[in-house]
């Protein structure tokens, strides 16, 4: 593909990918970082879904709700990343985000066990989501800011393609780690149970085949003909094998993200280049008007969100079925919906942030003119 595309470019034809863009360090190292980080991020979500739905016996909907703290954290920190990038440059925001992701993944490796409660993962997922929110948007910005604006379309396509290829490769590699650990740990547990006479020797061949396949038929597919008294022992073996596989797969994802954090340090910081050329500028009247309009839109959106949360909390207090469902499937969310607690917390925290952003920060940024 590379040879064919370069040949097309030399003949004056439009290439699918302009390899000349790789001469820009920000674009080159940015794509490399995108590839490595995508391997860790998407692979991690893949293995966590398997763990929650097998070992923790959560449904697909319950697993999605478990990931909700991560999604909310991404939603909160993505716009904050833009503010930080304007002040410190996008490279440091990207690096900080990936460091947070690595910390979260290493934490999952440390805390994961068969008996770990699901709610223990909520703080870790919040940290992980914060890292994703900080890193992803600014990583895209770094890639596109490094090339001429006329090539932004090609750069964006290359960025998305590299991310998709990295995610596919990461899922394959991390999935292979998961299957390998499931097989090795499961077979070791089976051998130990046979030695302790908690499993018959005849079960070894059946279970080894099941484990070598990485439980590809699902954990519910127990070996046919297995006596009922051994079912719980086999389920324990499978759960332990999947848990260990999840731990080491998370560790592998953390290594990928850590390498991504290191490679991001090779990316030139666009902010550093502009700082040297920066001169004192005056804020025009039009930009102030635009800023006021944007602030008004944000305030209206925030008010609508608070109203919707209040309506959901009211519905929760009146709906016994809804209360029971959240109590069984997502007790943490039910806790915040009860007595309007979540609505009040978001209103207070969000209101304080809005007040700082709309009222205090603009005034602090306006320096008195020397006349």
**DSSP code per residue over 334-366:** HHHHGGGHHHHHHHHHHHHHHHIIIIIHHHHH-
Residue 283, pLDDT > 50, answer no
State mean pLDDT over 118-129.
89
pLDDT class of 69 with cuts at 50, 70, 90:
confident
Higher-scoring residue by pLDDT: 179, 279 = 179
Q: Is 113 helix (H, G, I), strand (E, B) or coil?
A: coil
Q: Using CA atoms, how far apart are residues 84 and 100, in angstroms rounded to an integer? A: 15
Structure confidence at residue 278 (pLDDT): 44
Predicted confidence at residue 277, as pLDDT, reads 45
Helix (H) or strand (E) holding 307: helix 285-318
CATH of 22-269, one of 3.40.50.10470, 1.10.645.10, 1.20.1250.20, 2.60.40.10: 1.20.1250.20
Mean pLDDT of 284-296: 58
Tell me: pLDDT of 292 over 80.
no
Confidence of residue 128 (pLDDT cuts 50, 70, 90): very high
Positive or negative: CA dihedral 121, 126, 132, 135:
negative
Contacts of 241 (CB under 8 A, 6+ apart): 181, 182, 183, 185, 186, 189, 211, 215
How far is residue 35's CA from residue 256's CA, in Å, rounded to a whole number? 10
Residue 106, pLDDT above cutoff 90: yes
Residue 344: Cβ-neighbour burial (10 angstroms; 0-12, 13-18, 19+): middle
Q: pLDDT value at position 226?
A: 62
Is the predicted pLDDT of residue 232 greater than 80, yes or no?
no
Which of 234, 243, 241, 185 has its CA nearest to residue 206? 234
CB-based contact 233:193 (threshold 8 Å): yes
| For the chain, domain boundaries | 22-269, 284-364
Site of tokens 């635009």: 290
């Amino acid at each position: 593909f590379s040879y064919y595309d370069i040949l097309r470019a030399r003949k004056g034809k439009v290439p699918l990918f302009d390899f000349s863009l790789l001469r820009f360090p920000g674009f080159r190292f940015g794509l490399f970082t995108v590839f490595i980080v995508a391997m860790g991020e998407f692979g991690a979500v893949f293995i966590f879904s398997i763990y929650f739905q097998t070992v923790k016996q959560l449904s697909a909907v319950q697993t999605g709700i478990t990931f909700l703290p991560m999604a909310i954290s991404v939603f909160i920190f993505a716009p904050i990343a833009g503010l930080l990038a304007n002040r410190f440059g996008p490279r440091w925001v990207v690096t900080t985000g990936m460091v947070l992701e690595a910390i979260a993944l290493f934490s999952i490796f440390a805390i994961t066990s068969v008996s770990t409660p699901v709610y223990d993962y909520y703080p870790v997922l919040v940290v992980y989501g914060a890292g994703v929110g900080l890193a992803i948007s600014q990583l895209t910005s770094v890639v596109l800011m490094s090339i001429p604006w006329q090539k932004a379309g090609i750069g964006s396509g290359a960025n998305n393609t590299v991310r998709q290829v990295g995610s596919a490769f990461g899922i394959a590699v991390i999935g292979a780690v998961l299957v390998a650990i499931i097989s090795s740990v499961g077979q070791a547990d089976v051998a130990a149970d046979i030695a302790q006479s908690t499993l018959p020797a005849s079960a070894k061949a059946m279970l080894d085949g099941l484990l070598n396949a990485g439980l590809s038929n699902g954990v519910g597919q127990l070996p046919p003909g297995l006596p009922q008294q051994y079912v719980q022992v086999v389920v324990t073996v499978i759960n332990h094998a999947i848990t260990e596989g999840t731990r080491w797969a998370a560790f592998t994802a953390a290594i990928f993200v850590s390498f991504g954090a290191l490679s991001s340090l090779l990316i030139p910081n666009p902010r550093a280049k502009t700082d040297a050329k920066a001169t004192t500028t005056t804020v025009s009247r039009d930009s102030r008007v635009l800023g006021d309009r944007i602030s008004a839109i944000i305030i209206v959106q925030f008010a609508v969100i608070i109203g919707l949360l209040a309506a959901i909390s009211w519905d929760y207090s009146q709906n016994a079925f809804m209360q029971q469902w959240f109590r069984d499937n997502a007790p943490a969310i039910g806790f915040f919906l009860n007595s309007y607690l979540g609505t009040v917390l978001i209103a207070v925290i969000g209101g304080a942030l809005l007040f700082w952003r709309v009222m205090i920060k603009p005034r602090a940024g306006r320096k008195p003119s020397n006349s």
